[in-house]
A and B are shown apart, each in its own frame.
Chain A
Amino acid sequence: MTDAAIVTQKLTRRFGNLTAVDSVDLTVTAGQFFGFLGPNGAGKSTTIKMLTGLLAPSSGRAELLGLDFAAHPVEVKRQIGVVPEGMGLFERLTGAEYLQFVGRMYGLDRPTTQRRSDELLDFMQLSDRPKTLIADYSHGMQKKLALAAAVIHGPRILFLDEPFEGVDALAAGALKALLGRMTERGVTIFLTSHVLEIVERLCSHVAIIHKGRLVAQGSLEELRAGIAGEAGSKTTLEQIFLSIVGQDGAQRPQLEELSWLM
């Protein structure tokens, strides 16, 4: 019996000649708030898609809660919640209709679905427009609804692809508190975000992917300790990230080239 929530072995995904994710070995322990970082196009979303059944790996395997995803897709999906890239909402439903639809798809009975749907809409401050279609929601409202749909069935692992993008500060604060409470109760959260401050504040463990390869993995302390010659515990995640990903100077934009702007 292992307490690993997510384990990947040589997880690889190729698109023609491009290897988007290259032999990624990842281990996330149950109850961890796990941040998955990388520059644009590094392979974050591709990895999440493979871990949530939206994309088949070219090779390698993914195991969630001790179950091989390829062998037990329905059983795994029953225990995970996802906010995918693009959110995947049915835009011609109202928020309540969508939550009821998702609840029923996860096999919840109608009264439970109804009760949880009402509570989630209240919590996300979306209950004041019961007849508004999702198509008419703002981006932030859609994001909150996607989050509500991801947790309605009480998942044991939650995958969040850029969950705070477009969400106002008030709602973001409440969401962070909710996610914190969920991890305290043993839920594993796997999160990608470009906002490193959020990841640093929320996540206990971090992995960094670059050009499809996993280049760092561990707790924040372990990553700090791994950077030679730095100021130890004062090193921020941004500095860690830049020192690992931005090592080849050719990748960093040269400000001198924009001298006309300054």
Chain B
Amino acid sequence: MADVASARLPGVWQQIRLVAGLRWRVLANSLRKKHNQWDLIGMIFAGVFATVAIFGVSVGFGFGAYTIVSGGHETWIALLFWGVFLFWQVFPVFTAGFGAGFEFRTLLRFPLSLRAFYVIGLAYGLADFAAVASICWLTSMNIGAAIASPGILPDMLLISFLFLVMNITLERLIGSWIERVLARRRSREIFFALFILSAVSAQFLNPILQRYGRSAQPWVKQLLPYLSVFPPSLAGQAIAGAVQNHFANTLIGVAGISAYALLFSVLLWMRFATQYRGEELSESAAPTRAVVRPVSRTASEPDALRLLTPQVAAVLRKEFRYLTRNSFAFFLLIMPPVFVLLFTTQFAGRHPTATRHPVSTEFFFPGMMAYLLLILMAPAYNSFAYDGKGILTFFTAPVSFRQVFLGKNLLQAGMLAFELTLSMIAFSYLVGLPSLPVLLATIAAIVFNIAGQLTIANWSSLTFPRKLNFGQMRGQRQSGMAVLVSFGAQILLGGISAPILFMSRWTGDKWLPAEVFAFLAAAAIAGYISSLDPLAGLAEKKKETLIDALSR
């Protein structure tokens, strides 16, 4: 056992090289799977696109710096520093939500000193896309400014270096905290929900700016002076001071950025030291003293789902619980009515709209309902996605998959009915409902569409299953085939609707679509019911594929 004592620990640089090698092997090994080989193609495309984007923006930053310095507007260079700063700090926060492929703190199991851990952490931060892009842009700014005024180069290099150190330490500090927050399932889901909420909210920026943009300008101008104490403004001030030979300004700028870099470095050191000492990030419940068991509440209560068989009711309850605990699915449900609201206020109606000629309700109402179906039916094509290993329970329990599908589809149909009703109420308030023939035809078409799509979606769920995880964005993709089937089904059902609407217009019979769609809806419901037993048989044949795909 003399090896431990005699072994010499690798130096920091060698450890950095080992970590880089480890990340490379993780990536290379992940490409062994056939499925991931498509990811490689995607990564190559993304890499080419990113390189072009970085290069293009670099030219912009270089030209911008040249123009600013040569034009004598040195203080404006702060704007370029602000651009770099915001991208460097904000971009990694948004990509962090997609799940880190490699958690930096796992390195702590190895015999690293705190100093080595800190240095590796900084090096790790430099390997980030945002850091690489930002360094390229800073370099371009240096080149552009130096071409315009060669004497500025030493100051520019010094300030850029300090700016770089400040950004790396701040990014790692934020990244380290995000790593800690995202280590817990609940906070990961809240983060995910906030991400989706902000994405949805962004859709309202344009209408808000159109309405309140001008009146908000004075408020924004009042806030601008307060930005001067932040690092990008300080960097701009230092450069401007150097060009204008205002030594005091340069000194204040350099001292300010240095102070920020020092502060962030100390905070980062303290954060890494906490990680180094050991930090509890376990998601398991902490042991607690047993408490008195709550008295059964529901035993004597009547079952609200007593019209259903116990098995169908059990699946329906389970699906509802899963829906309310899945932030992504939940927001997917909230989004469509919000978009209906948004589109309606912008393109149609009796209230003020963004367009001069609002779209007729007769066309807009069926269009909006079709849009809702398009979005809301999508999860049905991979309905076992979030069941995970729970799929084993469906196969070990004495039930036919007929009952499982009934439970799942009832919830989907119920949610669709709720969402569509909600949207119709909002629509009728904002715009007013269409004529009765169009309203009834749309409702019948919706029923036809739902029953038809559920039949195809159940088959797709069994044939192209793909596991999805709660509160996670990275690698959360539906099966490509399931997406194709979903598009195909929607095109097919939409294609059936087109000649009906054409016939109505040709014959001038306003009630024809309502009659034909009612007939089609009845046929689709009959088709759906008769498909359940064959699908249960298919589930039995496909169980190995299902279990394998969902239990990974």
Q: Tell me whether A88 and B392 are in contact (CB under 8 A).
A: yes
Residue of A nearest to B552 (CB): A86
Candidate in B293, B389, B397, B540 with the most chain A CB atoms within 10 angstroms = B397
List, in ascending order, chain B residues with CB within 8 A of A127's CB.
290, 293
CB pair A92–B325 under 8 Å, yes or no, is yes
The reply on B387 being an interface residue by CB < 8 A is yes
Q: Are B285 and A101 in contact (CB under 8 A)?
A: no
- Is B326 in contact with chain A by the CB < 8 A criterion? yes
Verify A88–B399 contact, CB threshold 8 A.
no
B288: nearest chain-A partner, CB-CB: A128
Q: Do B1 and A136 have beta carbons less than 8 Å apart?
A: no
A125 touches B290 (CB 8 A): yes
Please pick, from B390, B400, B544, the residue contacting A91 in the complex, using a CB distance under 8 A.
B390
Residue B388 CB within 8 A of the other chain: yes
Contact (A88, B321) CB under 8 Å given A127-B293, A128-B288: no
Contact (Cβ within 8 A) A89 B397 = no
A118-B393 in contact (CB<8A): no
* A241 contacts across to B, CB distance below 8 A: none
Q: Are B399 and A128 in contact, CB atoms less than 8 angstroms apart? A: no
Which of chain B's residues has its CB closest to A94's CB?
B321
Contacting pair A122 B392 (CB below 8 A):
no
Contacting residues, chain B, for A149 (C-beta < 8 A): 393
Question: CA–CA, A73 to B291, complex, Å?
Answer: 41
A104, B310: Cβ atoms under 8 Å?
yes
Bound together, the chains give a CA A238 to CA B539 distance in angstroms of 41
Interface pair A128/B290, CB less than 8 Å apart: yes
* Total interface residues in chain A, CB < 8 Å: 55
A247-262 interface code vs B (CB 8 A; 1 in, 0 out) = 0000000000000111
Residues A132 and B285 in contact in the complex (CB < 8 Å), given A54-B547, A110-B303:
yes
- Are the C-beta atoms of B3 and A260 separated by less than 8 Å? yes
Q: Are B551 and A86 in contact (CB under 8 A)?
A: yes
Min C-beta distance of B283 to chain A, whole Å: 6
Q: Is there contact, CB below 8 Å, between A88 and B390? A: yes
Q: Does B311 contact A (CB under 8 A)?
A: yes
- Residues of chain A contacted by B81 (CB below 8 angstroms): none
The CA of A27 and the CA of B542, in the complex, are separated in Å by: 29
Q: How far is the CA of A86 from the CA of B313 in the complex (A)?
A: 25
Decide yes or no: A128 and B289 within 8 Å by CB, A54-B543, A93-B318, A115-B299 being known contacts.
yes
Number of interface residues of B (CB under 8 A): 48
Shortest beta-carbon distance, A90 to chain B, in Å? 4
Question: Within 8 Å CB of B399, what residues of A?
Answer: 74, 105
Among A75-83, A183-191, A198-206, A218-226, the stretch in contact with B: A75-83
CA A44 – CA B313 in complex, angstroms? Answer: 35
At the interface, yes or no: A55 with Cβ under 8 Å from chain B? Answer: yes
B302-326 residues with Cβ-Cβ distance < 8 A to A are: 303, 310-311, 313-315, 317-318, 321-322, 325-326
| A52 interface residue (CB < 8 Å to B) | yes
Encode contact with A along B265-296: 1 for CB under 8 Å, 0 otherwise.
00000000000000000011100111101101
Q: How far is the CA of A110 from the CA of B1 in the complex (A)?
A: 62
Contacting B at CB under 8 A, from A29-78, are 52-56, 73-78
Which chain A residue has the least Cβ–Cβ distance from B391? A88
Q: Mark A105-135, 1 if CB is under 8 A from B, else 0.
A: 1111111001100100110010111101101
CB distance from B176 to the nearest CB of A (A): 24
What is the bound-complex CA distance between A112 and B285, given in angstroms?
A: 29
A89 CB contacts on chain B under 8 angstroms: 389-390, 393
Report if B398 contacts A (CB, 8 A): yes
A101 touching B318, Cβ below 8 Å: yes
Complex Cα distance, B296 from A84, in Å, reads 29
Q: Give per-residue flags for B514-552: 1 if the beta carbon is below 8 A from chain A beta carbons, else 0.
A: 000000000000000000000000001001100100010
In the complex, what distance in Å separates the CA atom of A127 from the CA atom of B386?
Answer: 26
B185: interface (CB < 8 Å)? yes
Decide if A151 is an interface residue (CB 8 Å cutoff).
Answer: no
> Within the complex, which residue of A92, A110, A129 is in contact with B298, where a contact is CB–CB below 8 Å?
A110
Question: Does A92 contact B3, Cβ atoms closer than 8 Å?
Answer: no
| Interchain CA distance A149-B397 in the complex, whole Å | 11
Residue B210 CB within 8 A of the other chain: no
Q: Mark B1-30, 1 if CB is under 8 A from A, else 0.
A: 101000000000000000000000000000
Q: Looking across the interface, which residue of chain B has its beta carbon closest to that of A127?
A: B293
A83 to chain B, nearest CB (A): 10
Contact A92 B284 (CB under 8 A): no
Minimum CB distance partner of B386 in chain A: A92
Complex contact A82–B313 (CB within 8 A): no
Known: A92-B325, A121-B293. A108 touches B310 (CB 8 A): yes
* A129–B287 alpha-carbon span in the complex (Å): 10
A101 touches B547 (CB 8 A): no
Question: Is B87 close to A, CB under 8 A?
Answer: no
Contact (Cβ within 8 A) B321 A97: yes
A141–B284 CA distance with the chains assembled, in angstroms: 10
| Interface residue B395 (Cβ < 8 Å from any Cβ of A) | yes
Known interface pairs A110-B299, A122-B293, A133-B325; A102-B288 also in contact (CB < 8 Å) = no
Contact partners of A55 in chain B: CB under 8 A? 543-544
**B residues within 8 A CB of A130?**
294
CB-CB under 8 A from A262, the residues of chain B are: 1
B347 interfacial contact with A, CB 8 Å: no
- Residue of B whose beta carbon sits closest to that of A111: B299
Q: Is the CB of A74 within 8 A of B400?
A: yes
The verdict on B355 contacting chain A, using a C-beta distance below 8 Å, is no
Residues facing A in B165-184 (CB within 8 A) are none
Chain A residues near B386 (CB, 8 Å)?
92
Q: List 20 A-B contacts (CB under 8 A).
A: A54-B392, A54-B547, A56-B544, A73-B540, A74-B400, A88-B389, A91-B389, A92-B470, A93-B321, A93-B322, A97-B318, A106-B397, A107-B398, A110-B310, A114-B296, A129-B285, A130-B294, A132-B285, A136-B284, A262-B1
Known: A92-B321, A104-B310, A104-B314. 11 other contacts (CB 8 A): A56-B544, A74-B400, A88-B392, A93-B322, A105-B393, A109-B310, A114-B298, A115-B299, A128-B293, A138-B284, A141-B285
Closest CB pairs A-B (n = 8): A88-B392, A104-B314, A90-B390, A77-B398, A78-B398, A105-B397, A128-B290, A138-B284
